[in-house]
Chain A
Amino acid sequence: MEVALTAGTTAKMDREDAVSDTSVLINFLAVGRVDLFVDHPKYRFVITDHVRREVTRHYPEEFERLELALNAGELEQITVASVEELEIFGELISSPKRFGSGECAAMAAAIYRKQVIAIDDNLAIKHLAKAYPQTRIETTQTLVVGLIKEGAITDSYGDWMKQEWESNYRFRLKIGSFRELL
């Protein structure tokens, strides 16, 4: 395995705020590289309390890594609690019960706050594109491409992570190698 370069080559101040769903966060936690996520050159990610709950409940192995990042102040947790956000949450969760509550909370926050959302679920991505076309979406794949382009990791390292996700976490990308996207 090739050693990854240090993340964060772009000045952190220029980064844009973004909300992450569990699906993307968990991929970086799974390979032990949450640093690539929190120091992403393009985005300053926040997670909702709902996402934290999902990791706590369903991903005990990754939970500790998330807590370390939160306690160290590297990652911020937000609460989705405005009337407008709760309204969007209500629309998403009853449309008709295709999405999970954590996903809906993350999407509602991103939509209302006009922030980028990092999410991997195809159904959610299609729904956002149709019902909330102004929402900008990033996925694990596009974030890794961004990391490679910014020089935070090499394409070989990206492929190693891809291999790990496929072999150990049943998360598949529809590409052979990140080189195809560069």
Chain B
Amino acid sequence: MSLDLVTLGKRLKEARENCAITQERAAEAIGAPRTALVHIEAGRRVPSTLELSDLAELYKKPVTHFLSRTASQEEDALEEVTLHLRVERAFRENPVVKCSIDKWLGIVREGAELNILLGASTHDALPFYTQSAPKTLSEAFQQGESIAEQERKRLGLGENPVHRLQDLLSSAGAWVASVNLPKEISGMFLHEHSLGPVILINNTHPRVRRRFSYAHEYGHALIDRKQDATAMVSTQANSTERTEKRANAFAASFLMPQNGVRTYLSSIDKGGPTRHVHAVYGIAGSEQSEERSAPGSQKIIYQDVALLARYFGVSYQAAVYRLRDLNLIGASELHSLLEQNEQANSYLKILRFIDAVDTEDSAGEGIEDTGELVSQVVYRAIEAYRREIISRGRLLDLGTKIGISGKKLIELAEAAI
């Protein structure tokens, strides 16, 4: 390998510009004058190993991204660039978010590389449901609903609520994390052959909305991932697109299965017909008896929906719309129940079902929930160290990247030997 300083400088410059970082700030990060950075980017000055590592860290890229590469590394890099361009396109107006996504993708990449070193399969275990692009909204709903039913069946979920959606997704080979994103973005689905599916959810949204977003992006992963790099961002602006509607229908049906909703309502004696006809066959012929429910007893009111929402771990609003989709309420009930959104959330708060509350003040406090993603990487790192596949120094670097003390990580890894 021969080092090409001009190419190295060019890659460093590109990475800096992609993160919208000024030369001054980059120079400050490596403790050098701006002219030093100018010379490095022009290929006229050799960066020290520490300067190069610091710049890589600042630009959320691995050091190897900047150094000369082998043919296979070039191939991976090309795919990485394709995904990067898709993220770039989606966040052209918001380089800070783009850089933050690069950070999480960097951690995912570490996990994927550990997978390769451990000899684990790089193929994700998620099935792919081939679907033509929906031509109408109705078709989008049907496709989403049908795939959710198939997926529930495949996973043997029956009609029960899904509790730890993140666990389910990560055990299927997806990398998942709840990170800070702008309010208007609910989540995103990214896919690249060497990484597998990546789902990032907006941590600033209330828990119930985050669950819906996980399921929504899960839908994208099952239906919309392509052979080449895919980046789909779910925002308020694109929520009317048919592929987004299809992912919503998937999420609603996956989280609130039709039979599950009916069984739940039946258990609280709600939503049934007001008139039951019992027919008994006998020797003398069939006999019929009719039973009428007390007037108004079957009417679904806000507290029924709030408790249904809590049972399935979705927002009150999502539960209202699901009841309408299943024809369990009509248009006028939909309207009046939606108007009682505030009342329903206050009801859940009084009952201390805080997890089910869907209000701004119940949103995440800015502490990103990346435990699942970090645990996926730590698990592989300890295993790789135990098997002498990675070194102590690599554990220190991984610790820096995932925000865990490298000393602690080494101690944990040593304890596994």
Contacts and interface: CB of A to CB of B under 8 A. Distances in A.
Interface of A: 21-23, 48-50, 53-54, 57-59, 79-83, 85-87, 89-91, 93-94, 96-105, 108, 120-124, 169-172
A167 to B, nearest CB: 12
Nearest to B2: A87
Contacts of A80: 48-50
Given A59-B407, A81-B48, A87-B3, A100 B117 contact: no
Which among B3, B50, B388, B395 has the greatest number of chain A C-beta atoms within 10 A?
B50
Contacts of B67: 90, 93-94
A128 to B, nearest CB: 11
Q: Interface majority SS on B: helix, strand, loop or mixed?
A: helix
A160 B303 CA distance: 68
A24 to B, nearest CB: 11
Interface in B384-417: 388-397, 399-400, 405-407, 410-411, 414-415
Contacts of A81: 46-49, 51
A53 B400 CA distance: 11
Interface string B31-47: 00000000000000011
B52 interface: yes
A100 B49 contact: no
Contacts of B405: 58
Given A90-B3, A93-B63, A99-B393, A170 B414 contact: yes
Nearest to B73: A94
Contacts of A108: 49
B395 A100 contact: yes
Nearest to A57: B400
Contacts of B389: 98, 123
Q: Which of B49, B391, B397, B410 has the most CB of A within 10 A?
A: B49
B362 interface: no
A170 B410 CA distance: 9
B48 A97 contact: no
B76 to A, nearest CB: 11
